[in-house]
């Protein structure tokens, strides 16, 4: 005959399978007052209810547990937003997008940051140059503050909390530093992209920030009114070392209440058979136990163009990707798929720099 502790344990498992996690708290209170139960053997078949979900591109079905290993809780994914602002139309588009998000997220704030890159001045006498720079900085800050007032009065109809700041230095460095110092959750910035020689040797500011930022970056090209219903998540389908990236993508999906379309682009350079691809897709979703998703294989000559074409075919608004953040010579020779998409697509692109992880970029 089973003891009282074993009965309580079985009741707890029954509650978990049928009603969710919360009732377990009550059962645990009972367990604390009873002798410790014998260690239970692990039985994967009884860990969770299974739900079938169909792939958008394949006829087969994928089994996934209803209770995920990575539970989504209330997070600060969109509480403190930073918008770099040079007062261009692209920056104002990003500011409007950030305001729309903050208006739907209680206790959120939008930080508007204007960075001024001062010219390098040379003089045989140091002090007059420093004095000139100080006067110039004060004048530029005053001008930016006036612009901030106009922008906020024009766009902030919902009276979202807005914090403004003017800094002097290299644009990309100041933005990354401000994000870190002020514990920004997501950096939202406008971009007009870059191409040709300028892209190879210099790149857009958005591209540089995507490469160096320690927080997620969401790049906006045009005015976007939303809602975001579909998110495309291109991935290499590695099941190791992606927990941080996947958790952030799931938080993003949860925040917008969107469908997630997990994508493998099959190209001549990284070709895999349908059997192998389907197996990897199933392993990937089983490992990270997604919800409200589809798994997709898309054939194309180019990974970048394949992602863009698939995103259009799904009528998706946002592409979410991890990036390796390569720098210097390595970046020139190997590039980054994420940064290239930032420059060349008109869709919203959300990116997150991963360290020493085999991700898409």
Name, in order, each residue with C-beta under 8 angstroms of 95's C-beta and a sequence gap of 6 or more: 83, 85, 110, 112, 151, 155
Least confident among 99-103, 115-119, 141-145, 200-204? 200-204
Of 28, 62, 68, nearest to 48 (Cα)? 68
162 pLDDT above the threshold of 60: yes
CB burial of residue 41 (10 Å; 0-12, 13-18, 19+): exposed
Class of domain 80-220: alpha beta
Q: How far is CA 324 from CA 76, 321, 346, in A?
A: 23, 10, 22
Kindly state the DSSP code that residue 301 receives in the 8-state scheme: S
213 pLDDT above the threshold of 50: yes
Q: What is the topology classification, in CATH, of domain 230-353?
A: Rossmann fold (3.40.50)
Neighbour tally for 63: CB within 10 Å:
11
Flag whether the pTM goes above 0.85.
Answer: no
Query: Residue 268, SS3?
Result: helix
CB burial of residue 235 (10 Å; 0-12, 13-18, 19+): buried
Rounded distance, CA 351 to CA 142, Å?
33
At residue 121 the predicted structure's pLDDT band, cuts being 50, 70 and 90, is low
List the structure tokens of 115.
Answer: 């960075």
List the structure tokens of 48.
Answer: 């969770």
More confident residue, 328 or 339: 339
Averaged pLDDT for residues 260-282: 93
Averaged pLDDT for residues 141-167: 95
Strands 217-220 and 348-353: antiparallel
More confident residue, 169 or 130: 169
Q: Using one digit for the tens of pLDDT, what is the confidence trace for 182-203?
A: 999 999 988 765 443 333 333 4
80-220 and 230-353: same fold? yes
pLDDT score for 123: 55
pLDDT score for 225: 80
Q: Quote the percentage of the chain above a pLDDT of 70.
A: 65
Query: Residue 227, SS3?
Result: coil
Quick one: residue 322, left, alpha or beta (phi over 0 = left, psi -120 to 50 = alpha)?
beta
Name, in order, each residue with C-beta under 8 angstroms of 149's C-beta and a sequence gap of 6 or more: none
List the end-to-end C-alpha distance of the chain, in Å, as a whole number.
57
SS3 letters for 143-179? Answer: HHHHHHHHHHHHHCCCCCEEEEEEEECCHHHHHHHHH
Rounded distance, CA 193 to CA 343, Å?
4
Cβ(319)–Cβ(232) under 8 Å?
yes
Average pLDDT value over all residues in the chain: 75
Rounded distance, CA 304 to CA 38, Å?
54
Name, in order, each residue with C-beta under 8 angstroms of 63's C-beta and a sequence gap of 6 or more: 50, 51, 52, 286
Query: Residue 106, SS3?
Result: coil
Domain boundaries, given as residue ranges, for the chain:
1-47, 80-220, 230-353
Rounded distance, CA 199 to CA 192, Å?
12
List the structure tokens of 356.
Answer: 């020493």
Angle subtended at Cα 59 by Cα 56 and Cα 65, rounded to the nearest 5 degrees? 75
Residue 173 phi, psi dihedral angles, 5° rounding: -65, -45
């Amino acid at each position: 005959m089973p003891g009282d502790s074993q009965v309580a344990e079985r009741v707890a498992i029954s509650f978990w399978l049928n009603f969710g996690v919360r009732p377990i708290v009550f059962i645990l209170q009972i367990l604390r007052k009873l002798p410790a139960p014998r260690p239970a053997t692990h039985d994967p078949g009884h860990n969770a209810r299974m739900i079938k979900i169909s792939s958008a591109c394949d006829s087969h079905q994928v089994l996934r547990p209803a209770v995920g290993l990575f539970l989504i809780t209330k997070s600060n994914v969109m509480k403190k937003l930073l918008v770099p602002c040079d007062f261009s139309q692209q920056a104002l588009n990003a500011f409007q997008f950030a305001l729309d998000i903050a208006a739907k997220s209680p206790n959120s704030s939008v930080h508007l940051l204007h960075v001024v890159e001062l010219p390098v001045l040379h003089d045989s006498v140091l002090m007059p140059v420093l004095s000139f720079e100080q006067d110039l900085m004060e004048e530029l800050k005053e001008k930016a503050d006036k612009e901030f007032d106009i922008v906020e009065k024009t766009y902030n109809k919902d009276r979202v909390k807005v914090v403004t700041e003017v800094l002097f230095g290299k644009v990309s460095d100041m933005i990354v530093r401000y994000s870190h110092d002020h514990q920004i959750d997501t950096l939202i910035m406008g971009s007009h992209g870059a191409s040709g020689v300028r892209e190879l040797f210099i790149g857009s500011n958005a591209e540089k920030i995507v490469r160096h930022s320690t927080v997620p970056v969401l790049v906006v090209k045009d005015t976007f009114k939303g809602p975001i219903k579909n998110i495309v998540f291109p991935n290499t389908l590695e099941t190791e070392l992606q927990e941080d990236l996947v958790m952030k993508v799931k938080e993003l999906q949860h925040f917008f209440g969107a469908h997630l379309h997990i994508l493998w682009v099959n190209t001549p350079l990284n070709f895999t058979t349908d059997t192998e691809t389907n197996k990897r897709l199933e392993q990937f979703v089983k490992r990270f136990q997604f919800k409200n998703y589809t798994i997709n294989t898309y054939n194309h000559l180019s990974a970048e163009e394949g992602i863009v074409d698939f995103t259009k075919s799904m009528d998706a608004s946002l592409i979410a990707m991890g990036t390796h953040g390569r720098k210097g010579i390595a970046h020139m020779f190997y590039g980054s798929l994420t940064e290239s998409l930032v420059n060349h697509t008109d869709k919203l692109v959300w990116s997150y720099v991963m360290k020493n992880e085999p991700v898409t970029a």
